[in-house]
Homo-oligomer: A and B are copies of this chain.
Amino acid sequence: MATSRASFSLRRLLLGPPLPTVAMPHQTVGKFVGLAVFSSDALSSVAYATEEILVVLSVAGAAYFGLSIPIALAICGLLAILTASYRQTIFAYPSGGGAYIVARDNLGELAAQTAGAALMIDYILTVSVSVASGVAQIVSAFPRLAPIRVELALAMIAGMALVNLRGVRESGAVFAIPTYFFIVTMLGTIAFGLYRLLTGHLRTVADVPPVPATTGQALTLFLILRAFSSGSTALTGVEAISNGIQAFREPKSRNAAATMVWMSVLLATLFLGITVLAHHIRAVPAEDETVISQIARTVWGRGPLYLTTLTATTVILIMAANTSFADFPRLAALHAADGFLPRQFTIRGSRLVFSWGIVVLASVASLLVVIFRASVTHFIPLYAIGVYLSFTLSRAGMVVRWLKIGRLRPDEVVETKGSVLRYDPHWRWKLAINAVGAASTFVVMIVFAVTKFTSGAWIVTVLVPLLVWIFFRIHHHYEDVRRTLSLRDKPVRTEPAPVIHMVLVSDVNTASLEQIRFVRSLGVPWFGVHVAVDEAKAEVVRSRWERYVPDGTLIVLPSPFRDLVGPIREYVEALRARHPEAFIHVVMGQIVAEHFLEQALHQNATVIFALALRHIPGVAVTNVVFPLHAPQQAPAPHPAAAVASADE
């Protein structure tokens, strides 16, 4: 008791007081905080997207670096298509329109589970990658921290888990400042850089290793596509808002859609600005210095503003991981509610958040950080395929939805699981937007998978089907149980049955006499059972029994192999075989110590017995508890207890 109360207080200190269920609707955010909570993943991608384009182009030579600008423009075009497409989804699915729901509603369970599995893998990777990358930036600035980079990453994940376990409003307040800090700093850097460019004062970057103008390798279409797909990591995270509409204040859809547009405009501005500046300063992808750092020191010089820009970039990378803490638990709860993940994911904890999802996400991401020693390099090839797979499935789902709407009569209204279908005269145009979105994200995904297959993408191509298989196994089990427990079309058995009562004793002492007093109080025939693990001890038990329980029968079961549960299980199974209609009632005693550590000093055989007997139908196992340190005073009566006494 003392222990559980102490741990409860610690929990309260860390998480705050429990919130009643009626407090739920207030835990929402407005557009300003919502942008901070849901856009850090998308915005943080600009920290590496331009660099990734240049890395691919450098295979052909620095002469082709200028191609980065049309490629970035093409990616912004893709972003525009996705934004238009997702705005439709936000209004079509006001209670939350992530890839899982859209795919389930329009393409069926298999597509939905596939989209969900892909997204879950990506949410976990977002946490690992962003935290690892954030730590790498810190370590670049403070090399003395290098030996504890794994510990730093783990501490960050733990900190984020805690903030999110406290609830989304608090996490919004915590994360708004750094996100806006990044937006303001980066916009300032780009604006001042462009000002210096237009006034002719922007020089090229100094002290970077040169890249030959051409390397002799041809600039193929494949290479350009690869550069495009590498750069399109900039769009990871744009789906976050459509998953989290329910976290917004009313009117939810309108607020979420407006936030989505703002996020896309910001993302495109930052991405294009960084790409243009990188080209003009002749930035070069290098092992030891990021393109962002090269831009910042060329624009600001090596002063406090350079450090500020790097700090903001570091912080936004870490905050990006927080988007997953908002989305993963929500997605897991959706899967669980449909019976494809353990039901526990649907339970809201004391602070009204999906605690299980938060804890599982933090644990798996931490495990990956430990396994890969917090190295970004190992994660990158696994990252983004899942996102584009879910984009494709979700956009394809929207195409099917517009096809259905196109077939409706103008006054017809059809309700689906998450949406309402109404005729829309512009359905062909809207279908086209989504079809273009589906096709382009599909192409990006295929290019991604092909070019990075051997360096790690294959893991995801194995993992997604495996997860989908597990999801359907879980679903199958829940369906099985539902059918077994259902009372529909079944005869209800209510007639009483005979009950065979046995009292299991390891010794004759005050605890076992309490067990016997309980079964005596039932006023039924009964007998005692002792397993003779130790023959000498059995003799002592027999003689004590004769002295203290002269009116009861004691059966001593032999156990030549010193096995405690085997003889009991065989005995109960044999009784069952003789009396198939009867309940077998096994009464055990449990010595309860005050503290967990004291409890560990006892054999706790009741737990072992209960496990051994639980597969035998018709068995009822009773524990008569024997607290060693019983409270001296009885607590005050409970108001409902009066009802009970009336029924006795």
Smallest CB gap from A525: residue in B: B648
Please determine whether A521 and B583 come into contact, CB atoms closer than 8 angstroms.
yes
Pairwise interchain contact A557-B627, C-beta atoms closer than 8 A? no
Complex Cα–Cα for A501 and B574 (A): 29
Q: Are A485 and B499 in contact (CB under 8 A)?
A: no
B residues within 8 A CB of A373?
none
A494 within 8 A of B: yes
Residue from B20, B500, B619, B645 within 8 A of A648 (CB atoms): B500
Q: Across the interface, do B527 and A509 meet the contact criterion of CB distance under 8 Å?
A: no
Chain A interface bracket (under 10, 10 to 19, 20 to 34, 35 or more): 35 or more
Choice from B517, B553, B578 contacting A497 with Cβ under 8 Å = B517
Question: Do B342 and A640 touch (CB < 8 A)?
Answer: no
> Which residues of B are found within 8 Å of A18, using beta-carbon distances?
561, 563
Which of B343, B507, B511, B574 lies in contact with A637, CB distance below 8 A?
B574
| Interchain CB contact under 8 A, A620 and B617 | no
Give the chain B neighbours of A562 by CB distance below 8 A. 21, 347-348, 350
Q: A493-B513, A638-B575 are in contact. Are A616 and B627 (CB under 8 A)?
A: yes
Q: Judging by beta carbons under 8 Å apart, are B513 and A492 in contact? A: yes
Closest to A520 in B: B496
Q: How far is the CA of A579 from the CA of B624 in the complex (A)?
A: 17
B598 touches A610 (CB 8 A): no
Contacting pair A644 B527 (CB below 8 A)? yes
A198 within 8 A of B: no
For the complex formed, measure the closest distance between the CB of A27 and the CB atoms of chain B, giving whole angstroms: 14
Question: Considering only CB atoms, which chain B residue lies closest to A565 in the complex?
Answer: B4
* Least CB distance, A80 to chain B, in whole angstroms: 42
Residue A478 at the B interface, CB < 8 A?
Answer: yes
A517 CB to nearest chain B CB (Å): 6
Residue of A517, A557, A628, A647 with highest tally of chain B CB at under 10 A: A647
B-side contacts of A620, CB under 8 Å: 518, 587, 622-625
Q: Which of B19, B557, B580, B619 contacts A625 (CB 8 A)?
A: B619
A555 to B645, alpha carbons, bound, how many Å?
12
Residues of B within 8 A of A494 (CB): 513, 516-517, 520
**Cβ contact of A477, chosen from B522, B598, B635, cutoff 8 A:** B598
Residues of chain B with a CB closer than 8 A to A498's CB: 521, 648
Q: Which residues of B contact A492 (CB under 8 A)?
A: 513, 548
> Which residue in chain B gives the minimum CB-CB distance to A624?
B620
Whether, in the assembled complex, A474 has its beta carbon less than 8 Å from a beta carbon of chain B, the answer is: yes
**Which of B573, B623, B644, B647 is within 8 Å of A638, CB to CB?**
B573
**CB pair B499 A521 closer than 8 Å:** yes
Contacts of A509 in B (CB 8 A): 485-487
What residues of chain B lie closer than 8 Å to A578, measured between beta carbons? Answer: 637, 641, 645
Q: Shortest CB–CB separation between residue A544 and chain B, in angstroms?
A: 8
A360 to B247, CA, bound (A): 49
Residue numbers in B under 8 Å from A601 (CB-CB): 342-343, 474, 477-478
Structural contact, B487 and A634, CB atoms closer than 8 A: no
Residues of B within 8 A of A518 (CB): 499, 583, 585, 620
Given the complex, which residues of B lie within 8 Å of A513, measured CB to CB? 487, 492-494
- State in angstroms the CA–CA spacing of A555 and B344 once bound together: 25
Query: With the chains together, A544 CA to B275 CA distance in Å?
Result: 64
Given contacts A583-B521, A640-B555, contact A548 B481 (CB under 8 A): no
Can you list 22 A-B pairs with a CB-CB distance of less than 8 A? Answer: A21-B561, A342-B600, A342-B601, A343-B603, A344-B603, A348-B562, A350-B562, A474-B601, A478-B601, A481-B593, A490-B510, A498-B521, A500-B648, A521-B583, A525-B647, A555-B640, A585-B622, A587-B620, A610-B623, A613-B625, A615-B625, A622-B622
The 7 A-B residue pairs with the shortest CB-CB distance, nearest first, are: A574-B638, A485-B509, A574-B641, A577-B634, A496-B521, A622-B622, A617-B630
**Sample of 4 more A-B contacts, CB < 8 Å, known A350-B561, A486-B510, A616-B627:** A485-B510, A493-B514, A555-B644, A571-B640
